[in-house]
Amino acid sequence: MEAQEEQPPREADTEPVVTSGIPEVVPRALRGDPQSLSDVDAFNLLLEMKLKRRRERPDLPRTVTELVAEDGSRVYVVGTAHFSDDSKKDVVKTIREVQPDVVVVELCQYRVSMLKMDERTLLREAREVSLEKLQQAVRQNGVMSGLMQMLLLKVSAHITEQLGMAPGGEFREAFKEASKVPFCKFHLGDRPIPVTFKRAIAALSFWQKVKLAWGLCFLSDPISKDDVERCKQKDLLEQMMAEMIGEFPDLHRTIVSERDVYLTYMLRQAARRLELPRASDAEPRKCVPSVVVGVVGMGHVPGIEKNWTTDLNIQEIMTVPPPSVSGRVARLALKATFLGLLGYSLYWMGRRAASLVLALPAAQHCLQRAAGAWPPK
């Protein structure tokens, strides 16, 4: 992270830089060139402080999985439950133990606002599923994807209502802790949510969409905090995933498996060797392995481990396939049905209103006078 000119950087000034692209991993001691010796010394001093805090054998929670890159960089993936106080504690402990160079979270630019909202505001926002939110989702993602997003927001609101807890607390804790670590960057590592929803909708048949929407609309099972904490156990989570795969395998592929690939790619991009600043151009370049903390849902951890050493191509999972013929027909049929029902409702309401108006005594009197004034044939 860049230091202010003619002033050594301080820990309190190291606000994490939020990025969603490929990270720039070369820390710099000065905004301009050439670098002065005092600035390099200040950088090295802060780096030494950071390395002293970094434990060689960190005491990590059981929810942390350690991965090693080819260049020796280390990635500590914290598997979390999104509605969990224990997950927040796990994230804080991991960041303090390893003093990372980069923190990567399972968020995209469309959900980054939750990082700086307070818990009360988030709780209110998560509970309210309004017409305005529906219109925004439809404008952003299209009709079908927008409706599906609102149904999933309804599920989140149901969990929020049951637990009295706003989602994403572990990401906010990660953002706060990253700001306390010198030269620590903060990256958004998830695929943009409009791409995920559009690919998910395109992967489902018409009847699968109806079945999924029906299940989400009538979700009302009570959820306890113990249920959420049990989700941090891999055996229970894998059982839940197996049930989901059996019913909607294409949905699992787009919402879970493809995002596993994307998250793995972003973690690998963050885990690059760091080039240290030099006092002069004559000094040889020196690089050191980086330390990265990833904060993701527990359901993504097995996929990240599986993909860690494989060649990844994220271009394939960033494209939105065109709608199928059956999908276009179903969409037209849905619009025609909606317009037909709207037209019939307006017609029925008009007839009903006319009947009520004509039944009024004043209206009857006016009609009689009009009939009397009409000349006979």
The model's pLDDT over 235-272, given as tens digits with 9 standing for 90+, comes to: 444 455 555 555 677 878 888 899 999 999 999 999 99
Q: Pick left, alpha or beta for residue 281 (phi over 0 → left; psi -120 to 50 → alpha; otherwise beta).
A: alpha
Cβ atoms of residues 90 and 172 within 8 Å:
no
- Other C-beta atoms within 10 Å of 103: how many? 28
DSSP string for 185-221:
EEEE-SPPHHHHHHHHHHHS-HHHHHHHHHHHHT---
Dist CA 233 CA 230 (whole Å): 6
pLDDT at 147: 61
Q: According to the model, what pLDDT value does residue 197 have?
A: 82
| Tens digits of residue pLDDT in 270-315 | 999 988 777 677 878 888 899 999 999 988 999 999 999 999 989 9
Q: Which are the contacts of 163, defined by CB distance < 8 A and separation ≥ 6?
A: 83, 223, 224, 225, 228
Determine what percent of the chain is predicted with pLDDT higher than 70: 62
pLDDT tens for 336-356 read 776 787 788 788 888 887 777
Q: What pLDDT does 34 receive?
A: 41
Percentage of the chain beyond pLDDT 90 is 28
Which residues are bridge partners to 186 per DSSP? Answer: 18, 103
In angstroms, how far is CA 117 from the centroid of its own chain?
Answer: 15
Q: Which amino acid is at 282?
A: A
Evaluate if residue 7 carries a pLDDT over 90. no
Task: Rounding to the nearest 10 degrees, give the CA dihedral for residues 187, 189, 192, 196.
Answer: -170
Reported as a pLDDT band with limits 50, 70 and 90, residue 2 is very low
What is the per-residue pLDDT for 19? 59
Helix, coil or strand: residue 265: helix
Structure tokens that stand for 271 in this block: 């885990």
**Average of pLDDT values for 218-224?**
57
- For residues 290-326, one letter each, b for 16 or more C-beta atoms within 10 angstroms of the residue's C-beta and e for the rest, the string is bbbbbbbbbbbbbbbeebbeeeeeeeebeeeeebeee
- In this prediction, residue 8 has a pLDDT band, given cuts at 50, 70 and 90, of very low
Around Cβ 184, how many Cβ atoms within 10 Å?
Answer: 23
E strand residue ranges, 45-97: 64-68, 74-80
Residue 29 has pLDDT above 70, yes or no: no
CA distance 46 to 43: 5
